[in-house]
Amino acid sequence: MKSCSGCITRLRTWSQRLEEGFLCLLLLAMILLACLQIALRLLFSEGLLWADPLLRYMVVWSGMFGAAVATKKGKHIALDVASYLVPAHLQSWLQLLIHLFSTLVSAALTWAAVLFVRNEAEFGGTTLLAMPSWLWNLVFPLAFGLITCRFFAAALADIRTIAGRFLPVKP
């Protein structure tokens, strides 16, 4: 059991480094491309035609994957008015309910994004850099799927926390 736990820990660490590394590289590329575009416009009165649309797609990709990382760390946008109104002994139940609801909403968004990308693949054309438009929009089902998994994992953790209060402790 310990080796399985160690593998899961290594997998989490590896995936966290991959995500954060991807976001850092994306941000660095955005900064460099934007600075290059500014320099070309200032010095030569023209820029790269493909740079501005590429920067827009990069902003969308960084925003979506940034939202997935924020969800993993519990730093996503949340309305917690109800948590002030609910007694302390019911907080974990409220948290479970919120995570389950968030899982359902993000799963619905994942499904809608899959349908969108499927339609783009079927009916869409080519866009930036002569790539099919569905490739650029693939970020939506990927990020929403990741967010769904993270909310579901948080709900499972809530269930373990609640169950731990009711189950007898083994000596």
Q: Report pLDDT for 119.
A: 95
- Tell whether 50 is covered by a domain: yes
pLDDT per residue over 13-55, tens digit each?
898 899 999 999 999 999 999 999 999 999 999 999 999 999 9
- Taking CA atoms, 87 is separated from 82, 91, 94, 162, 164, in Å, by 10, 7, 10, 15, 19
- Tell whether 171 is covered by a domain: no
- pLDDT category of residue 2 using cuts at 50, 70 and 90: low
Residue 15: give the domain boundaries. 2-166
d(CA 146, CA 138): 13
Q: Report pLDDT for 165.
A: 78
- Tell whether 86 is covered by a domain: yes
Residues 128, 129, 130, 131, CA torsion sign: negative
Residue 1 predicted with pLDDT over 60: no
- Tell whether 138 is covered by a domain: yes
pLDDT per residue over 110-167, tens digit each?
999 999 999 999 998 888 888 999 999 999 999 999 999 999 999 999 999 998 877 7
- Tell whether 96 is covered by a domain: yes
Q: How many CA atoms lie within 13 A of 36 on its CB side?
A: 12
What radius of gyration do the chain's Cα atoms show?
21
- Tell whether 154 is covered by a domain: yes
User: How many structural domains comprise the chain?
Assistant: 1
- Tell whether 35 is covered by a domain: yes
Q: What is the value of pTM for the model shown?
A: 0.88
Q: How far is CA 67 from the centre of its chain?
A: 4
